[in-house]
Amino acid sequence: MKTQPLVRVVYASRATPECLANLDENIEQILASSISNNRSKDITGLLIAHRGWFLQVLEGPAGEVHELFKHICTDRRHRDAILLGEGPAQVREFGLWSMCARQLSPTDAMILGELDRRPTFEPADFPEHAVMRLLRTVADVHKLTLTQQQGLASA
């Protein structure tokens, strides 16, 4: 069986009012289904929610990632999906997670400090490199938090 090339897709979409009404629950549902589905398809990624927007990166075999993105575009929890970047990936940048999802909160001070310098949050206007920098920062903060939690649990 021929191995598909590794690709990365980055997109933004607006959360629907119904989704926003129960955002934490919706993120939990997305995370639960994504972890099992993505693991079986060798897809990794990260999803964040902020100011009514979703930002997501998906990495994996080209056919699987493109099929998943098509499916995501029909999901009732969001609308107006905008492809911010797509292309080959030499390595996975979010390979620790079949899917990681976070709603940015006041505890994400480092991340929000950068975002709040802008009068609005319009990810569709961000260049791809800025979105990737944001997603990498969220991943690094999440990884640090998990490491600290594991350290406390083993102490």
Assign residue 126 the CATH number of its domain: 3.30.70.100
Asked if residue 67 belongs to a domain, the reply is: yes
**What pLDDT is recorded for position 63?**
94
Q: Residue 93: its pLDDT value, please?
A: 87
Distances (CA, A) of 135 to 2, 5, 58, 78, 96: 30, 22, 11, 19, 13
- Give all strands of the β-sheet with 6-15 in edge-to-edge order: 78-88, 6-15, 53-61, 44-50, 100-103
Give the pLDDT confidence score for residue 137 in this predicted structure. Answer: 79
1 lies in a domain?
no
Residues 6+ apart with CB under 8 A from 133: none
**CA pair distance 99, 58, nearest whole angstrom:** 9
- Which residues are CB-neighbours of 102 under 8 A, at least 6 positions away? 27, 47, 48, 49, 108, 138, 142
**pLDDT score at 17:** 96
141 within some domain: yes
pLDDT at 118: 57
Return the pLDDT at 10. 94
Per-residue pLDDT of the chain (155 residues; tens, 9 = 90+): 567 789 999 999 999 999 999 999 999 998 888 888 999 999 999 898 888 889 999 999 999 999 999 999 999 999 999 999 999 999 998 877 666 666 666 555 556 555 555 556 777 777 888 888 888 877 877 777 666 656 655 55
- Is residue 12 assigned to a domain? yes
- Say how far apart CA 145 and CA 153 lie, in whole Å: 12
User: Which pLDDT score is estimated for 18?
Assistant: 96
Model pLDDT, residue 34:
87
Whether 17 is in a domain gets the answer yes
Domain assignment present for residue 132? The answer is: yes
Direct distance between the N- and C-terminal alpha carbons of the chain, in angstroms, rounded to an integer: 46
Report how many domains make up the chain. Answer: 1
**What is the residue range of 77's domain?**
6-154
**Considering the domain boundaries, does residue 21 fall inside one?**
yes
Does a structural domain hold residue 117? yes
If we measure between CA atoms, which residue out of 108, 118, 136 comes closest to residue 10? 136
